[in-house]
Amino acid sequence: MAQASIERGGLTLEDLGGNRKRHRKERVVRRVFLTAALLSIAISVAIVASLAGGTIDYLSKVEFSQMLVMDWFPRRNEFGLPAILAGTLVVSLIAMVVAAPLGLGAALYLSEFAKSRSRRMLKPILETLASVPSVVMGFFALRFISPDIVQKLFGGAEFFNFLAAGIGVGLLVTPLVASVAEDAMHAVPSGLREASFGLGAKLRTTSLKIVVPAAVSGITAALILGISRAIGETMIVAIAAGGTGGSGFNLDPLRGGQTMTAAITSLATGSDRAAGSGAAVPSLYFVGMLLFFMTLGLNLFSERFVRRVRRRY
Amino acid sequence: MQARVVATGSAAAREEVRRALTGRRADWRSVVFHGVLLLTLLVALVVLLVLLADVARAAIPVLQERGGEFVSSGTSSLPVRAGIKQGLIGSAFLMLFVAVLSFPLGIGAAVYMEEYAKDTGFTRFVNTNIRNLAGVPAIVYGILGLALFVGLLGDVVGPGSVAGRSLLAGGLTISIMVLPIIIITTQEALRAVPRSIREGGFGVGATRWEVIRSHVLPNAAPGILTGTVLSMARALGETAPLIMVGAVTGFFVAQGGPGEQLQERFTSMPTLIFAWTKKPQPEFQDLAAAAILVLILAVFLVNLAAILLRNRYERRW
């Protein structure tokens, strides 16, 4: 049809529009892709919905005052949130003490100092570190960091301790911090650096006084993202921090205890799943909900920061 | 200062200027700073080497003694008989799930977001949502799997004695977990394809899907592939969600063909390692180390593939 009208010399808009079959196919394809995209919203809804049921169950069974006691032993009817919050806080803090200097240092080196050849050799090291499975890092923390580093340095350290777990989490978070921070430093326009060099500044002064301040919101975002990841990390703490079944309130990094994530796993793996009060299993959903909203808040916050640094230049 | 004639642009001139500006002194503080920064990067390397050496020290005797039998035996309460066969099968199945479910869905969603969706408030909301999903802790995905697949759909995914704690439930959970990562990396790969490539396609009268299929996807393929390969590595090493969904941490006997196995109990390499790590007998610690060596080599190989792929096909427009 189209062929015929072209031969006669009259080309209409309809000919250019292609045939109807192509358009129908186009619409179908578009709809399929839209469905895939909408699935992500369904997942978010499913997460909140699956957490909500157990959380409501838990809140109806446990008084708020019961959550303020110091110890977390759900099977003994002790739901002291301070215990697992303290564990999470201590481990995340130690993790960031490790990950912040290592990650930011590596980012600054890769972004400002490394030549493209050494960069291509050094970056895969960080990526390989990022790919170490968390059980493996947990095993390493328990079998090496705890006895050979922590216990050798600090005589009174227990075998299961927050310090070893925190160092393990920190090492796992380091590549994430490095990669986000490096993106931020990379986004600083080279005009700023050249202006600094032009005034006779050294590479060290330029990177510390020009690049780092200019990328500060991206760097902050990297650190917040790191904290969020450290809070959510499960296997390392479940393996190296001890506290199976529950734990008392403990802020001492040389002793063990339980974090929010480890509390969830130990509830799920415990063989006496049915034992204890009826609120033990629902408490797992409640802790999950807390964890979800804590990391959600941190992620949203760091997302804002990243967008701000991008808009500036 | 005495006047000297040096040809401009020559190496000698450059050296002359450099010396005049730096005052002939080596700047020790800069050197130290440079060294400290390099050190932070090398810590990562040292950690990796120590980790590998430490694991290998415990693992190699086991692997030497047990050899292929370690790979071909199933779970057992006796350390001398326990092996990683079921873990390997479980992990292979889980990766298959990701490949079959998450790849098409993730790439489809990314194509919609980058190629079809207009920049509306809704689009931005969906994008933020995807980014947030990528930041949700893995264990929360485990709770989702526990409530949705084991609880709600238990009769479908694993009827009978396993009460929903089946390979199907685990595979679905892991697939949902890596989906946002695949979407984000694919979006980045699509964004890197310049407009002009698309315009070339539209210029000859192709519809949007035809342009995507013939021009955009082939050009974005290396980036998409790298991202998806990395998400495979993630799926391979993930443990926490599987523990929630009920991957077996004890011993079990796998029966039936592949089809039936989907609705049966399962375990995976990381779950097996976790279980062995928690066992009191010291022999199991060495078994865990041996299994770690196998797992870590698999993960590193997958990662290496991704890095090589990227270096090979990386293109600047």
Q: Are B236 and B95 in contact (CB under 8 A)?
A: yes
Residues 225-284 of A with CB under 8 A from B: 225, 228-229, 231-235, 238-239, 261, 264-265, 268-269, 284
Q: What is the mean pLDDT of residues A195-219?
A: 90
Q: Are A294 and A231 in contact (CB under 8 A)?
A: yes
**For A230, nearest residue in chain B (alpha carbons):** B137
Closest approach of chain A CAs to the CA of B13, in angstroms? Answer: 18
Residues 112-171 of A with CB under 8 A from B: 113, 120, 122, 124-129, 131-140, 142-144, 171
HSE toward the beta carbon, residue A82, CA cutoff 13 A: 11
Give the tens place of pLDDT for each residue, A25-79.
888 999 999 999 999 999 999 999 999 988 998 888 887 887 888 888 887 778 8
Report whether pLDDT(B257) > 70. no
Closest approach of chain A CAs to the CA of B223, in angstroms? Answer: 16
Distance, first Cα to last Cα, chain B:
50
Q: Which of A242, A246, A243, A237 is nearest to A75 (CA)?
A: A246
Chain B residues whose CB is inside 8 A of the A296 CB are 132, 135-136
HSE toward the beta carbon, residue A39, CA cutoff 13 A: 23
**For B273, nearest residue in chain A (alpha carbons):** A135
Q: pTM of whole model > 0.90?
A: no
DSSP state of B161: G
Burial string for A259-274 (b: 16+ CB within 10 Å, else e) reads bbbbbbbbbbbbeeee
Chain B residues whose CB is inside 8 A of the A18 CB are 205, 207
CB contact under 8 A, A133 and B270: yes
Chain A residues whose CB is inside 8 A of the B48 CB are 125, 128-129, 132
d(CA A169, CA B246): 24
For tokens 């089946």, the residue is B166
Give the tens place of pLDDT for each residue, B28-59.
888 889 899 999 989 989 999 999 999 999 88
The full 3-state SS of chain A, as one line of letters, equals CHHHHHHCCCCCHHHHCCCHHHHHHHHHHHHHHHHHHHHHHHHHHHHHHHHHHHHHHHHHHCCHHHHHCCCEEHHHCEECHHHHHHHHHHHHHHHHHHHHHHHHHHHHHHHHHCCHHHHHHHHHHHHHHHCCCHHHHHHHHHHHHHHHHHHHHCCCCCCCCHHHHHHHHHHHHHHHHHHHHHHHHHCCCHHHHHHHHHCCCCHHHHHHHHHHHHCHHHHHHHHHHHHHHHHHCCHHHHHHCCCCCCECCCCCCCCCCCCHHHHHHHHHHCCCCCCCCCCHHHHHHHHHHHHHHHHHHHHHHHHHHHHHHHHHC
Query: What does the block give as tokens for B122?
Result: 């809704």
Task: Tell me whether A97 touches chain B (CB under 8 Å).
Answer: no
Q: What is the mean pLDDT of residues A254-261?
A: 88
Give the tens place of pLDDT for each residue, B65-122.
887 778 777 777 777 777 788 888 888 888 888 899 999 999 999 999 999 998 888 9
Residues 68-87 of A with CB under 8 A from B: none
A-to-B residue pairs, Cβ atoms closer than 8 angstroms: 258
For tokens 């160092």, the residue is A167
Count of positions (residues) in chain B: 317
Using CB atoms, pick whichever of A26, A38, A234 lies closest to residue B138. Answer: A234
Chain B residues whose CB is inside 8 A of the A140 CB are 51, 54-55
The reported pLDDT for the residue numbered A11 is 63
ipTM of this predicted complex?
0.87
Q: For chain A, what percent of residues have pLDDT higher than 70?
A: 90
**For A114, nearest residue in chain B (alpha carbons):** B38
**For A267, nearest residue in chain B (alpha carbons):** B244
For tokens 């790979």, the residue is B71
Give the tens place of pLDDT for each residue, B149-163.
887 877 777 666 666
The reported pLDDT for the residue numbered B161 is 61
**For B129, nearest residue in chain A (alpha carbons):** A41
**Residue with the larger pLDDT of the pair B248 and A103:** A103
CB contact under 8 A, B273 and A139: yes
The reported pLDDT for the residue numbered A12 is 65
